[in-house]
Structure 1
Amino acid sequence: MGLPPPTADALSCSSALCLRLAAEIGAAGGWVGFDRFMDLALYTPGLGYYAGGSHKFGAAGDFVTAPELGPAFAQTLAAQAAQLLALSAPRMVEVGAGSGQLAGDLLRELELRGQLPDSYGILELSGELQARQRQTIAARVPHLLARVHWLERLPEYFDGLVLANEVLDAMPVHLVVWTTTGAAERGVSTVDGQFVWVDRPASGRLLERAQALAAEYALPAGYLSEISLTVGAWVAEWAAILGRGALLLIDYGFPRREYYHWQRATGTLMCHYRQHAHVEPFYLPGLQDITAHVDFTAVVESGCAAGLELLGYSTQSNFLFNCGLSDVLARTPATDASRYLPLASSVNKLVSPAEMGELFKVIALGKGITEPLLGFARGDRSATL
C-alpha cells in the first residue's frame, strides 16, 4: 500500500499481537466476529493500539484530532461545558482523553471564565496515555493538576458533564453483509497464518438489527456496512449512572437514514496509520487505528430508552459558532500574522465542510437539564435523527 514501514520494535509488537489474535480465533473454533477482532486489535493490554506505547495523536502520530489543531477548539467548547456544569454539578469526566491536550486547554479556559469544575476525571484504559495526559496537563496548567484524577472504572453515580471527543468511532463494530438469502456476519479466520474474511449467518440481536435495517431501507444484495451494539450499550450504561447532567459526544457520523444510504454500499470502516487512511484492518494489527462512523440515531435510541433526553444535535461547525468561535478567533489581532494565520488555519479545519465542519457532529443527551443549550441555539438537526 506504500505506507511508511514500522520500526523493528513496533513490528515485533504487532507480530506478538497477531499471535494473540490467531490464538483467540483458534480457541473460538476458527472464527471470530469482526467486533472481537477489532476489540483485541485496539485494546489488548500492552499490545493493542490504544493499550500500547505508540505515538497516536498529532502530526507525529497516526491522525490529528480537533484538540491537536490548537486551543481554539477547547476555548470554544468551554462555553458549553460551563453552561452544563452550572446546570448540573461542578464535576467533569472526560472519556478517552487522548494526549491530554483537550483537558489542559479546557481547564485553562474554564479558569479564565471563572467556572472551573471542582474535579476533572479522566477515564483512560492505556497506562501510556495516562502518563502522557498527566505530562501534558502539568505542562499547560500545573496549578490545576490536583483537580485531575484518573478513573479505573466508571463511577457508580455521577452528576455533572461527561465529555467524549472521538471515542465512539473506536468502539468495536460488527460487519454485516446483506444477501439474497438474509444477513451474514463478516468475521475473521486464518489461512496459512494470514487473517481472512469469512461470512457466517447473523444471529441473535445482530440479526434482529440487520433485518430491521433491511426492511426500513431496502438494502440491496451485497450491501456491506457496520452495526455497533457496543455504542448503544455504552450510552445506556452512562444513562444508569447519570443523575443530573449530560453526555456531550463529538464524533464523525450520520443519522441512520444517511448511514445506510444505498450508495454507501461498502460501509464506513477506516484505518489510520502514520497520517495515511486506508481500508485494510489486517495491516499491522496494534500499530494502526481502526474506526467506523457513528450511527447517531442508534445513540439517541439507546439513550432515550435508558432514560436520557436528547438535548441537541448539530454539526461541529454550527455548534462551535453557537458557542462563540468567532469571539475566540477575535482575541488574536489579524495584524499579528505570526499568531493569527496559524489560528485561522486551524479554525478553518474545524468548521470547513471540506474538513471537519460537516462530517463531525455534536450530540448532547442528559437528565434534569431544562434550559436550552447554547451550542444548539441555531442549526439544531435533531429532527434528522
Structure 2
Amino acid sequence: MTTKTPNSLPTALDHLIARSVERAGGWIGFDRFMALALYAPGLGYYANTSAKFGHMPSSGSDFVTAPELTPMFGQTLAAQVAQALEKTGTDTVWEFGAGSGALAVQLLHALDDMGRSDVRYRIVDLSGTLRERQQQALVRYADRVEWLGELPEKMQGVVVGNEVLDAMPVQLLARVKGQWFERGVVRNATGDGWTWADRPTDLRPPVDVPGAHDYLTEIHPQAQAFIATLADRLEKGAAFLIDYGFPESEYYHPQRHMGTVMCHRAHQADGDPLADVGYKDITAHVDFTGIALAGQDAGLEVLGYTSQARFLLNCGLVSRMEQGSVAERAMAARLIHEHEMGELFKVIGFAVGEPWDAMGFAEGDRSHTL
C-alpha cells in the first residue's frame, strides 16, 4: 500500500525522514519512522504547533483525553497521589507528557484542597510547544512547577503518566505465510510518499501466537526501556501509569491479527500512519505484561493493575459525581462506562521498596492476569 500526504510534500519533516531512510540504506523500521513522525524537533506531531487536545474538531484538536473530558479525573487521581506521597514520604509529583497541562492543574488544585500546598510539581516533556501551553495553564502555580526536557539522573516522588506509553515508538512484526518479518518503511515508487516493506527478522512476540494465519503485531522495547530507566532513577516513591491496552494474553491473541497501531486527527481514527505524516497522532496499545515485567526486572514492586473504571471508583469518583451537575456527572461517567474509557483504559502502579496497599487497587486488582 502506498500513501501520500496531500498538498504537503515536499515538507521539512518529509525531507528529514527521507534522509534518515537514505542513510539507513533505503529502509527504516517503523519504530524509527514513528519517532520522527511524532518527535522530530519542531516538525513532528508532538513538536509542532497543532492544537492536539480538545473536546471537538472545531477547536482544531485531534482527540480528547480524560483530563480534558472532566476535571473529576485529576481530582480523583489526586486521592491516590496524596496517599502515595504520604506512604513514600516524598513531596514531589512528576508528570510525563503533560499534554495541555489540564491534569497538572487538577492535581495541584485537589492537593491544595487536601492541605498539601507544599507539593512541588515537575513536568518532563519533549515538546516545546506543549510546554508553552502548559505554562499558560499553570500560571497560578508557577512557583511550584518546573519543566525538564529529560529524566534527571536521580529523582524522588510520585510519578504519573496519562496516555504516555501508547505514544512511544513500537516495532512492527508481521507473520506472512508462516515466516516472521519486521515491517518497515521505504520511499514509494514515485518518490512522493511512503510504503511498507518487510525484512526477515529473528524478533518475535513475547508469546507464541497460535495458528498459521498472517498476523501483524507490535513489540515495545522503547516503553519497556523507559520503565527500566525510571526504575533506575527513582530512588524513593511510586508511579501510576494510565493507558489503553491489555495483558499479553489478550494483546497477542490469535484473533488480534491486524495489530493495534492507530492514528487520530480531527477526532477521527484511521489505521494508516504513512499518510499525513506529522499532522496526526500515531499510537499503539500497551502490553501491560511487558511493562510490569520491565518494572519488576529493574527492581520495582507492582502495587496493582486494574481497569480505569475500577481504579477511579476505588479512589472516590462516585462521591465527586454526586456533588456535580447533571452535565458534569454525564462527562465523568464516560471515564468509567465500559463502552467508553472505563474498560479499555488500565492503570498500573509501581513502588520503590516494600509494596503497600494502594487505594486505587483495593478492589478489582487484576495483577494475576499479567
**TM-score after normalising by structure 2:** 0.94
Name the CA distance, whole Å, in 1 between partners of 2:285 and 2:312. 21
Deviation per CA, 1:18-62: give whole Å up to 9, x if none: 121112111111100000000000000000001111110012210
For residue 249 of structure 2, give the secondary structure of its aligned residue in structure 1: helix
CA contact (8 A) 1:155 1:241 kept: yes
Within the candidate set 263, 280, 283, 1:288 is matched to: 280
Deviation per CA, 1:272-300: give whole Å up to 9, x if none: 00110000101111110000000000001
Identity of aligned residues (%): 48
CA shift for structure 1 position 271: 0.1
Counterpart in the other structure of 1:81: 81
After superposition, the Cα gap between the structure-2 partners of 1:70 and 1:181, relative to the gap in structure 1 and judged at 3 Å, is closer
CA shift for structure 1 position 341: 2.1
Counterpart in the other structure of 1:26: 22
CA contact (8 A) 2:302 2:355 kept: no
**TM-score after normalising by structure 1:** 0.90
What does 1:308-347 correspond to in 2, within 5 Å? 308-332=300-324, 340-347=325-332
Counterpart in the other structure of 2:179: 182
Name the CA distance, whole Å, in 2 between partners of 1:44 and 1:263. 34
Kindly provide the amino acid, as one letter, of the partner of residue 52 in structure 1: N
Aligned Cα RMSD in Å? 1.6
CA contact (8 A) 1:245 1:369 kept: no
Counterpart in the other structure of 1:147: 144
CA shift for structure 1 position 213: 2.2
What does 1:161-310 correspond to in 2, within 5 Å? 161-191=158-188, 192-193=190-191, 194-203=193-202, 207=203, 209-210=204-205, 212-214=206-208, 217-310=209-302
CA shift for structure 1 position 241: 0.6
Name the CA distance, whole Å, in 2 between partners of 1:322 and 1:219. 40
Count matched residues.
359
1:133 aligns with 2:127: no
CA contact (8 A) 2:182 2:201 kept: yes
CA contact (8 A) 2:261 2:271 kept: yes
Within the candidate set 362, 368, 373, 2:358 is matched to: 373
CA contact (8 A) 2:311 2:360 kept: yes
For residue 78 of structure 1, give the secondary structure of its aligned residue in structure 2: helix
> Which is further off, 151-160 or 25-34?
151-160
Kindly provide the amino acid, as one letter, of the partner of residue 112 in structure 1: D
Kindly provide the amino acid, as one letter, of the partner of residue 85 in structure 2: L
Kindly provide the amino acid, as one letter, of the partner of residue 74 in structure 1: G
CA contact (8 A) 1:251 1:362 kept: yes
Counterpart in the other structure of 1:101: 102
Counterpart in the other structure of 2:114: 113
CA contact (8 A) 1:93 1:123 kept: yes
CA contact (8 A) 1:98 1:129 kept: yes
Counterpart in the other structure of 1:349: 334
Deviation per CA, 1:326-385: give whole Å up to 9, x if none: 1111223xxxxxxx1221121111000000000000000111354200000000010110
Kindly provide the amino acid, as one letter, of the partner of residue 184 in structure 1: F
Deviation per CA, 1:241-286: give whole Å up to 9, x if none: 1122111100000000000111111011100001100001011111
Name the CA distance, whole Å, in 1 between partners of 2:83 and 2:179. 48
Counterpart in the other structure of 2:125: 124
Kindly provide the amino acid, as one letter, of the partner of residue 320 in structure 1: L
Name the CA distance, whole Å, in 2 between partners of 1:268 and 1:126. 25
CA contact (8 A) 2:300 2:353 kept: no
For residue 138 of structure 2, give the secondary structure of its aligned residue in structure 1: helix
Name the CA distance, whole Å, in 1 between partners of 2:117 and 2:21. 48
Counterpart in the other structure of 1:35: 31
CA shift for structure 1 position 236: 0.2
CA shift for structure 1 position 180: 4.1
After superposition, the Cα gap between the structure-2 partners of 1:219 and 1:128, relative to the gap in structure 1 and judged at 3 Å, is farther
CA contact (8 A) 1:256 1:298 kept: yes
For residue 309 of structure 1, give the secondary structure of its aligned residue in structure 2: strand
1:58 aligns with 2:59: no
Kindly provide the amino acid, as one letter, of the partner of residue 136 in structure 2: Q
CA shift for structure 1 position 181: 4.6
Within the candidate set 338, 347, 352, 1:362 is matched to: 347
Kindly provide the amino acid, as one letter, of the partner of residue 44 in structure 1: A
For residue 146 of structure 1, give the secondary structure of its aligned residue in structure 2: coil
CA shift for structure 1 position 195: 0.5
Name the CA distance, whole Å, in 2 between partners of 1:325 and 1:116. 22
